[in-house]
């Protein structure tokens, strides 16, 4: 042990000396999940976006770290007066990693591919309003929408809307070819992905020459890797209980931010007795959010009362409508004819917010007479039985897509909320471009689902970044799943 | 009386006592969460401290003992109940196709690492205490089958068995009336040792999430939950860890002691 620590000290002295001469230009960032493949346009897996978004693939617009939308491959755009025609001027001199030029044909190909009948895009709804994509000239694209869509530029910023090339689409899953500042250098499956700077990048050259994404799924191993300084940063640290130790250690910085993850007790609205709004209301009053945040997340997280991110300006705090009140919950159950309680199932996927939160919720539900039988499931099994099979009573999951209240307008979505009034509301929202009117509509939408007690709304998932003290430019919040390598540098 | 026996019996009965006591009394309700009181080190109110949900660890250990003992006991029961008759039949039919079939079947089960098959069983039928029992039970079968066959084979050569055969008793009856009582000592000793292995196996399965499901406390899952908190709340891991060690140690000592005590040769030497 002493020999080991000697070697460690010796090597860090060496590193310090080297660092004085040249600023470090490589970084190793750990993530919990490994992407199944590297095509952001054909899967919902967050890990894909974390690795490739903005680094390898770029879209017409992009999210910035603060959640705002900025132009990327589209240099500028004009919107027709009726809000249905978007004319994008593309950046000049942009090349894909294979050397071919990025032009209007590639944009048309990417958007048409995403919205095609047989498209496997995980967020097809983003493109549903497009009626045609036309090439005006090599540097200009005209997108025509069926109806005005106030969030169209926002939609184009998603990882699912990145621009890909028809020449390299075949092998995109293993050999992604984009226009970004980094190229895929190596992928050691089960261990790491390495990236190297794209020397021919069209924009400002990144500070980092290379980057490694390392996949560490086990929270204990994550803690050990960070403490041993094997990795320079952890994108979203899986064990909130360890953060105070990092905070107390001058070698590290802790970045506590917000994600777009509304963590909810998803309820199968079609399964009796949850088809009765009174029962769902009882559920909502049986849950003590603060206890869940303290117990499962060690205090990290913001209580929510509806399916909306608290950092969004249009957010309404509706937590009061479903305050912790076990007596009221029991009374509501009695009104619904379930004075003796009932039994249901609670499926818990692997993250600790679900596993620990589930134990707490099961205990809280037991207080009012609801017996929730816990079943711990892996993600594959969760997708199979809960998300696709819809054979569940309750489950806990964090919905990490930004601005995803629209899922409540999909009656076939796994929690099966079917309210035509809400669906109309969403349709109106999509057709509205006036910011104030949109805010009002979004607030109506939040109130509608909170009033219907569709799901148990728990808390906004925190982003718990841990990094070595010298790392600069990491995103504190996660407006979308992304690790923006271009913004990262080391302190001198 | 030897020291092993006394120490082993003492430790084992302590665990047994805790398990039975938990049916009628625990210091706190093991299922009640009290999050403001989480992660307390051992103190006057909570003798072994509290876990990350503020549950009383002593109460959880007591109820967890119940889970461990029940799983191990039933699993050993399955192993003995199936394995011993198989072993006796194989011995009674020594050299026949039945003997071959039983023993090669045993070899087959032995050839698989038990935890891998346990994971397979729980993956197919779902995680839970009952499936853990079945998985552990299956792996006790060949142990008992081999032990009883080996011991029975040597007995079949003895004069009193010959006498019974001459008297016209069937092989099945001889196995039940003469062989079984004479290998009972051996089975009890082996049973104790398998029992301790069963407790370890249950802890292992719960540790990877395939044993008893929450909220039923289980020592293995308590260990798994404690893993990321060891650095600032070591009692979370030490308490269930020590419970497992002491129980397994106790049962092993008990098995050793019983063997010495029950072994006729040693008994003669003592006398």
Q: Are residues A431 and A403 in the same domain?
A: yes
Under an 8 A CB cutoff, do B232 and A241 touch? yes
Does A384 reach chain B within 8 Å, measured CB to CB?
no
Question: Shortest CA distance to A307 belongs to which of A269, A263, A352, A349?
Answer: A263
Could you tell me if residue A1 is inside a domain? no
Under an 8 A CB cutoff, do A294 and B36 touch? yes
Q: Are residues A344 and A414 in the same domain?
A: yes
Q: Are residues A391 and A452 in the same domain?
A: yes
Q: Are residues A343 and A429 in the same domain?
A: yes
pLDDT of A18 over the 50 cut: no
What sign does the CA torsion over A114, A120, A126, A130 have? positive
pLDDT digits (tens, 9 = 90+) for A57-73: 999 999 998 888 999 99
Q: Which of A242, A244, A291 sits opposite B35 (nearest CB)?
A: A291
pLDDT digits (tens, 9 = 90+) for A232-252: 999 999 999 999 999 999 999
Interior/surface letters B27-45, b for 16+ CB within 10 angstroms, e for the rest: ebebbebbbeebbbeeeee
Question: Shortest CA distance to A376 belongs to which of A348, A345, A356?
Answer: A348
CATH number, residue A364: 3.10.105.10
Binding-face residues of B in 17-36 toward A, CB within 8 A: 31-33, 35-36
CATH number, residue A132: 3.90.76.10
Query: Where a domain ends, among A166, A185, A201?
Result: A166
Please tell me the predicted confidence (pLDDT) of residue B136.
Answer: 87
Which of A216, A238, A288, A295 to mutate to probe the B interface, most B CBs <10 Å?
A: A295
Could you tell me if residue A308 is inside a domain? yes
Could you tell me if residue A4 is inside a domain? no
Could you tell me if residue A304 is inside a domain? yes
Looking at beta carbons, which residues of chain B come within 8 Å of A358?
214
Question: Shortest CA distance to A83 belongs to which of A141, A151, A154, A135?
Answer: A151
Please tell me the predicted confidence (pLDDT) of residue B271.
Answer: 45
By the 8 A CB rule, do B15 and B69 touch? yes
pLDDT of A17 over the 60 cut: no
CATH numbers and ranges of domains, chain B: 3-16+54-270 (1.10.3720.10)
Half-sphere exposure of A328 (CA within 13 A, CB side): 15
* Residue B107 CB neighbours (<10 A): 11
Q: Which of B33, B126, B227 sits opposite A363 (nearest CB)?
A: B33
Q: Are residues A152 and A193 in the same domain?
A: no
pLDDT of A13 over the 50 cut: no
Could you tell me if residue A266 is inside a domain? yes
Mean pLDDT of chain A: 90
By the 8 A CB rule, do B211 and B218 touch? yes
CB neighbour list of residue A343: distance below 8 Å, 6 or more residues apart? A370, A371, A372, A373
Mean pLDDT of each 10-residue bin along chain B, 271 residues long: 87 93 90 86 90 92 92 93 94 90 90 81 80 87 93 91 91 91 90 92 87 87 90 92 94 89 65 45
Binding-face residues of B in 109-148 toward A, CB within 8 A: 126-127
What sign does the CA torsion over A298, A299, A303, A307 have? negative
pLDDT digits (tens, 9 = 90+) for A386-427: 999 999 999 999 998 888 898 999 898 999 999 999 999 998
Q: What share of chain B is helix, strand, coil (3-state, %, to 5)?
A: 75, 0, 25
Please tell me the predicted confidence (pLDDT) of residue B83.
Answer: 94
Q: How far is A179 from chain B (nearest CA, A)?
A: 40
Q: How many domains does chain A have?
A: 3
Query: Where a domain ends, among A131, A148, A166?
Result: A166
Q: Are residues A71 and A83 in the same domain?
A: yes
Could you tell me if residue A83 is inside a domain? yes
Overall average pLDDT of the A221-232 stretch: 94
Q: In chain B, which residue's Cα lies nearest the Cα of A297?
A: B52
Would you place residue A21 in the very low, low, confident or very high pLDDT band (cuts 50, 70, 90)?
very low
Domain that holds residue A237: 23-34+175-257+463-490
Please tell me the predicted confidence (pLDDT) of residue A22.
Answer: 58
Please tell me the predicted confidence (pLDDT) of residue B268.
Answer: 54
Which of A223, A359, A370, A372 to mutate to probe the B interface, most B CBs <10 Å?
A: A359
Looking at beta carbons, which residues of chain A come within 8 Å of B127?
375-376
Looking at beta carbons, which residues of chain A come within 8 Å of B213?
373-376
Query: Where a domain ends, among A106, A132, A166?
Result: A166
d(CA B12, CA A486): 62
Could you tell me if residue A432 is inside a domain? yes
Does B214 reach chain A within 8 Å, measured CB to CB?
yes
What sign does the CA torsion over A443, A448, A454, A458 have? positive
Estimate to the nearest angstrom the gap between the alpha carbon of A140 and the chain centroid. Answer: 31
* DSSP-derived secondary structure for A58-116: --SEEE-TTS-EEESSEEEEEE-TTS-EEEEEEPTT-B-TTSPBP-HHHHHHHHHHHHS
Q: Are residues A302 and A432 in the same domain?
A: yes
Environment class of A413 (CB within 10 Å of its CB; exposed 0-12, middle 13-18, buried 19+): middle
> Max alpha carbon distance in chain B (Å)?
76
Overall average pLDDT of the A154-181 stretch: 92
Q: Are residues A233 and A279 in the same domain?
A: no
Does A241 reach chain B within 8 Å, measured CB to CB?
yes
Q: What six digits make up the tokens of B136?
A: 């552990």
Q: Which of A245, A358, A376 sits opposite B231 (nearest CB)?
A: A245
pLDDT digits (tens, 9 = 90+) for A77-118: 999 988 899 999 999 999 999 999 999 999 999 999 999 988
Please tell me the predicted confidence (pLDDT) of residue A136.
Answer: 94
Q: Are residues A92 and A208 in the same domain?
A: no
Q: Which of A220, A364, A366 sits opposite B228 (nearest CB)?
A: A220
Q: How far is B29 from chain A (nearest CA, A)?
A: 12
Interior/surface letters A230-252, b for 16+ CB within 10 angstroms, e for the rest: ebbbbbbbbbbbbbebbeeeeeb
Q: Are residues A384 and A299 in the same domain?
A: yes
Could you tell me if residue A10 is inside a domain? no
* DSSP-derived secondary structure for A257-326: EEEEEEEEEEE-TTSTTTTSHHHHHHHHHH--HHHHHHHHHTT-SEE-SSSS-TTSTT----GGGG---H
Q: Which of B33, B213, B229 sits opposite A241 (nearest CB)?
A: B229
Q: What six digits make up the tokens of B271?
A: 């006398």
Overall average pLDDT of the A187-199 stretch: 94
By the 8 A CB rule, do B2 and B254 touch? no
Does A362 reach chain B within 8 Å, measured CB to CB?
yes
pTM over 0.90: no
pLDDT > 70: what percent of chain A?
95
**Cis ω for the linkage preceding A94 (within 30 of 0):** no
Please tell me the predicted confidence (pLDDT) of residue A190.
Answer: 92
pLDDT digits (tens, 9 = 90+) for A297-337: 999 999 999 999 998 888 999 999 899 999 999 999 999 99
d(CA A301, CA A8): 36
Q: How far is B54 from chain A (nearest CA, A)?
A: 9
Three-state DSSP state, B247: helix
CATH number, residue A229: 3.40.190.10
pLDDT digits (tens, 9 = 90+) for A452-492: 999 999 999 999 999 999 999 999 988 888 999 999 999 87
Phi, psi angles (nearest 5°) of residue A143: -110, 125
Please tell me the predicted confidence (pLDDT) of residue B269.
Answer: 54
Half-sphere exposure of A275 (CA within 13 A, CB side): 4
pLDDT of A132 over the 80 cut: yes
Angular region, A176: left φ>0, alpha ψ -120 to 50, beta rest = beta
Of A126-130, A210-214, A271-275, A276-280, the least confident: A126-130
Q: Are residues A219 and A192 in the same domain?
A: yes
Q: What six digits make up the tokens of A462?
A: 């925190």
Q: Are residues A202 and A116 in the same domain?
A: no
């Amino acid at each position: 042990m002493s020999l080991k620590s000697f070697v460690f000290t010796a090597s860090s002295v060496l590193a310090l000396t080297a660092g004085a001469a040249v600023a470090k230009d490589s970084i190793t960032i750990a993530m919990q999940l490994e992407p199944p493949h590297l095509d952001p346009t054909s899967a919902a897996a967050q890990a894909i976006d974390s690795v490739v978004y903005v680094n390898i693939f770029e879209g017409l617009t992009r999210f910035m770290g603060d959640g705002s939308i900025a132009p990327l491959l589209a240099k500028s755009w004009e919107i027709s007066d009726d809000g249905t025609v978007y004319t994008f001027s593309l950046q000049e001199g942009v090349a894909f990693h294979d050397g071919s030029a990025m032009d209007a044909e590639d944009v048309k190909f990417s958007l048409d591919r995403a919205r095609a009948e047989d498209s496997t895009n995980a967020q097809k709804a983003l493109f549903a309003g497009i009626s045609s994509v036309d090439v005006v000239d090599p540097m200009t694209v005209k997108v025509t929408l069926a109806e005005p869509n106030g969030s169209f530029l926002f939609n184009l910023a998603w990882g699912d809307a990145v621009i890909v090339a028809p020449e390299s689409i075949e092998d995109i899953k293993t050999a992604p070819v984009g226009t970004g500042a980094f190229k895929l250098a190596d992928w050691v499956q089960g261990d790491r992905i390495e990236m190297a700077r794209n020397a021919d990048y069209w924009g400002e050259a990144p500070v980092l020459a290379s980057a490694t994404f390392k996949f560490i799924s086990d929270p204990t191993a994550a803690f050990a890797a960070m403490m041993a300084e094997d990795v320079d940063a952890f994108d979203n640290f899986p064990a909130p209980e360890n953060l105070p130790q990092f905070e107390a250690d001058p070698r590290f910085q802790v970045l506590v931010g917000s994600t777009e993850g509304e963590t909810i007790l998803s309820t199968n609205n079609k399964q009796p007795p949850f088809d009765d709004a009174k029962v769902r209301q009882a559920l909502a009053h049986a849950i003590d959010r603060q206890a869940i945040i303290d117990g499962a997340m060690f205090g990290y997280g913001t209580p929510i009362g509806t399916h909306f991110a608290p950092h969004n300006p249009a957010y309404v705090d509706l937590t009061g409508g479903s305050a912790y009140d076990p007596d009221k919950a029991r009374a509501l159950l009695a009104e619904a004819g379930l004075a003796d309680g009932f039994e249901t199932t609670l499926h818990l996927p692997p993250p600790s917010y679900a596993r620990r939160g589930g134990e707490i919720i099961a205990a809280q539900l037991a207080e009012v007479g609801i017996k929730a039988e816990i079943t711990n499931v892996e993600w594959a099994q969760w997708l199979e039985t809960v998300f696709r099979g819809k054979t569940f009573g309750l489950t806990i999951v964090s919905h990490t897509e930004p601005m995803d209240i629209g899922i409540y307008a999909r009656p076939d979505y796994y929690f099966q909320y079917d309210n035509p009034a809400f669906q109309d509301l969403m349709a109106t929202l999509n057709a509205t471009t006036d910011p104030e009117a949109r805010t009002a509509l979004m607030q109506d939408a939040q109130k509608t689902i909170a009033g219907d007690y569709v799901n148990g709304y728990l808390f906004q998932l925190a982003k718990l970044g841990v990094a070595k003290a010298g790392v600069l430019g990491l995103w504190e919040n996660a407006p979308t799943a992304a690790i923006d390598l271009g913004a990262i540098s080391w302190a001198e | 009386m030897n020291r092993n026996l006394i120490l082993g019996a003492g430790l084992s009965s302590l665990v047994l006592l805790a398990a039975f006591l938990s049916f009628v009394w625990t210091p706190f309700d093991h299922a009640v969460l009290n999050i403001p009181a989480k992660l307390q080190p051992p103190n006057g109110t909570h003798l072994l401290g509290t876990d990350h949900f503020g549950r009383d660890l002593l109460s959880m250990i007591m109820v967890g003992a119940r889970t461990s003992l029940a799983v191990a006991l039933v699993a050993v029961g399955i192993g003995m109940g199936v394995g011993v008759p198989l072993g006796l039949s194989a011995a009674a039919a020594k050299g026949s196709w039945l003997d071959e079939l039983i023993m090669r079947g045993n070899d087959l089960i032995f050839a698989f690492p038990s935890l891998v098959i346990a994971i397979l069983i729980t993956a197919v039928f779902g995680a839970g205490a009952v499936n853990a029992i079945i998985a552990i039970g299956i792996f006790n079968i060949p142990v008992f089958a081999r032990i009883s066959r080996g011991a029975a084979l040597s007995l079949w050569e003895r004069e009193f068995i010959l006498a019974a055969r001459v008297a016209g008793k069937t092989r099945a009856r001889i196995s039940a009336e003469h062989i079984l009582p004479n290998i009972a000592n051996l089975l009890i000793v082996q049973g104790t040792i398998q029992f301790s292995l069963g407790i370890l196996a249950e802890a292992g399965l719960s540790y990877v999430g395939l044993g008893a499901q929450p909220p039923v406390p289980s020592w293995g899952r308590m260990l798994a939950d404690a893993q990321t908190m060891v650095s600032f709340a070591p009692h979370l891991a030490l308490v269930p860890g020590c419970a497992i060690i002491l129980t397994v140690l106790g049962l092993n000592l008990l098995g050793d002691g019983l063997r010495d005590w029950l072994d006729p040769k040693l008994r003669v030497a003592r006398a």
